[in-house]
Amino acid sequence: MIRAYWRPKDKIVESDMSALKSKKVVWVDCYNPTDEEMKQISDITKVTVTDLKEHLVDYERPNTFEFDTHSLIVFGAPVLDHDMFRVTSFAIFLFNNKNIVTIRTEEMAGLEKFRQKLLEKNPKYFEFHTKVVRSMIESVVDDYFNFLDVFQESADDIEEAVFTSPHSSSIQRVFKLKKQMLVFHKSLLANREVITAIEKAYVTKLSRKELYDFRDIYNDLVQLIDTEETLRDILTGVIDIYLSSVSNTTNQVIKKLTVVAAYIMIPTLIASIYGMNFKYLPEIYWKWGYPFALGLMLFSIIGMYAYFKRVKWL
């Protein structure tokens, strides 16, 4: 599917690929284009179909490229797939005639918000292709903040669960979340390199006078990276808390078993002594021998109970 956006008069409208022939700023968004559509784009932009297809992939490491006829920016974007976070990428082709072509294989919330903003608010910056690119990337970066909020809520839920009732399922959630955040981290680092390259004017088809606008995006990415690293440290702490809780629970169980064993040990010793098969066993012919042995057992249990109370084992 291909959608083009440009401002023929005083309002941004949706059009078709014929808008690329205009000298005004035109953004053409290509979502899973067909071979025929790729051929049409190639005929207008003079970029070969092979080069276009090379960047029509689920994920390509964010980077910048320079060619004679155009500049290329590959940027990472977060997507939600069956309650699982992952990263995809989209390619931004920039041409001398202010044409902008994006190619992607995934639906991206950031680009959809950007498209809606163009049609509903008709921002004046659409007259400058550098600001269009900046706003487009900024909208995608905003999505990272949304996902980070979700990660924060999940981490808080896991932390509370571990404190109240430690269970192995909580640790499974921790490792699942940390795995997603590692992908999140790598994508942010690569995107930061892209913004750095843009600020250094490595992308020649962007106006140098407006590159300072990308500093805010760079700062947002740094903030995202710092917050994500802090959140991962918190999750590591949650694992330590879980292991400590399990260890404490095990110690409590062993302590209780020790108390129970101590209750049984001395009465068992007394019973085993009086159960010996000897002729001259003490108290064997004493009429109070049996009550005495039982009383001795009961006294040993009471004595052990008092001792455990005093040392606060009970």
CATH number at residue 98: 3.30.460.20
Together in a domain, 279 and 145: no
- Measured CA to CA, the distance from residue 102 to residue 28 in angstroms comes to 6
Together in a domain, 173 and 254: no
Number of domains in the chain: 2
Residue 213 DSSP label: G
Average pLDDT over residues 187-198: 91
Average pLDDT over residues 266-285: 77
Residue 223: what pLDDT?
A: 93
Together in a domain, 52 and 186: yes
Comparing 13 with 73, the larger pLDDT belongs to 73
Comparing CA positions, the residue from 222, 244, 243, 236 lying closest to residue 178 is 236
DSSP H helical segments within the chain, as ranges?
35-45, 49-54, 109-121, 129-164, 168-199, 214-274, 289-310
Together in a domain, 285 and 164: no
CATH number at residue 275: 1.20.58.340
Counting residues of the chain whose pLDDT is more than 70, the rounded percentage is: 99
Residue-number span of the structural domain to which 8 is assigned: 2-246
Together in a domain, 20 and 148: yes
Together in a domain, 186 and 256: no
Together in a domain, 87 and 196: yes
Together in a domain, 121 and 159: yes
Comparing 73 with 289, the larger pLDDT belongs to 73
Single residue among 204, 231, 246 that ends a domain in this structure: 246
Residue 226: what pLDDT?
A: 92
115 Cα distance to chain centroid:
26
CB 151 within 8 A of CB 181: yes
Together in a domain, 201 and 97: yes
Single residue among 223, 246, 269 that ends a domain in this structure: 246
CB 119 within 8 A of CB 14: yes
Residue 192: what pLDDT?
A: 93
Single residue among 202, 227, 246 that ends a domain in this structure: 246
Together in a domain, 125 and 265: no
Comparing CA positions, the residue from 21, 51, 12, 16 lying closest to residue 37 is 16
- Neighbour count for residue 258 (Cβ, 10 Å): 13
The three-class DSSP label of residue 276 is coil
Tokens representing 128? 């400058």
Q: Whole-number mean pLDDT of the chain? A: 83
Residues 6+ apart with CB under 8 A from 295: none
Together in a domain, 193 and 229: yes
Residue 189: what pLDDT?
A: 92
The distance between the two most distant Cα atoms of the chain, rounded to a whole number of Å, is 121
pLDDT confidence bin for 219, thresholds 50/70/90: very high
